[in-house]
Amino acid sequence: MADKKVRILLPFDVLPLARDAKIVSLRWDLIPWSLVLDCDVPAKAGAETPLIRRAWIIFVGMSEISWSMKSARLPNGVIGTDALIASERVMGFCEYELPILTPTFLAEDGISGNPHNKILIRATGIVGAISVSEAVFDEFGPNRQQRESLATEEDFLQAISAAAATVSVTGDDNATMGM
């Protein structure tokens, strides 16, 4: 049996994962009815050496996303500024709020207005997956090949598939990953 490259996180472990995360991509094509935020996350908060892990934040049964980025410049990706906030469940859905930075600039390259913004996602649940491996990368983070060395898409999908029957994504006995 191969070594595990990815471990599954429960919802209460996923919410703080968004703090200082760099969202590298949004994927709808990986898991049916789910949105995957593919992120680079700090392995340890406040560490002097910035160890990075690859993580997926998966919004199961996603029904809506709201993300205002008018005139924002994002040369290095979208950065989470705090933990995800989850609302109470209403009619089977939670609303997840992810605080982010989306700066807009003046012609003189000065920041215009407040760079803080948020992504709102409505979904039936949330689950996370994170690489076991971690590494140090340059100031712009890992490139695609370096990210794949931490864990591949296939590694994530295998871990999620293996856990799908047993992991609750809501803390509610009636909900499972549903993937």
pLDDT tens for 123-165 read: 999 999 999 999 988 777 788 899 899 999 999 999 998 887 5
User: What residue numbers bound the domain in which 130 lies?
Assistant: 6-163
Q: Per the domain annotation, does 179 fall within a domain?
A: no
Interval 27-71: pLDDT, tens: 999 998 899 999 999 987 666 667 899 999 999 999 999 987 766
Amino acid (one-letter) located at 157 = L
Please report which confidence band the pLDDT of residue 122 belongs to, taking 50, 70 and 90 as the band edges.
very high
Nearest to 147 by CA among 79, 21, 52, 57: 52
**pTM, full prediction:** 0.84
- Structure-token pair, residue 82: 């705090």
User: What does residue 16 show for φ and ψ, rounded to 5 degrees?
Assistant: -75, -15
Task: Give, in degrees to the nearest 5, the angle at Cα 169 between 167 and 170.
Answer: 130
Q: For 172-178, which contacts have Cβ atoms below 8 Å and span 24 or more sequence positions? A: 172/89, 175/124, 175/125, 177/60, 177/125, 177/127, 178/33, 178/60, 178/61, 178/124, 178/125
Q: Per the domain annotation, does 174 fall within a domain?
A: no
Q: Per the domain annotation, does 40 fall within a domain?
A: yes
Chain Cα centroid distance, residue 123: 14
Q: How many domains does the chain have?
A: 1
Provide the H-helix boundaries in 83-150: 144-150
Contact 92, 124 (CB under 8 A): yes
Q: Per the domain annotation, does 85 fall within a domain?
A: yes
Q: So what's the pLDDT on residue 168?
A: 44
Q: Per the domain annotation, does 1 fall within a domain?
A: no
Q: Per the domain annotation, does 153 fall within a domain?
A: yes
Q: So what's the pLDDT on residue 49?
A: 66
Q: Per the domain annotation, does 168 fall within a domain?
A: no
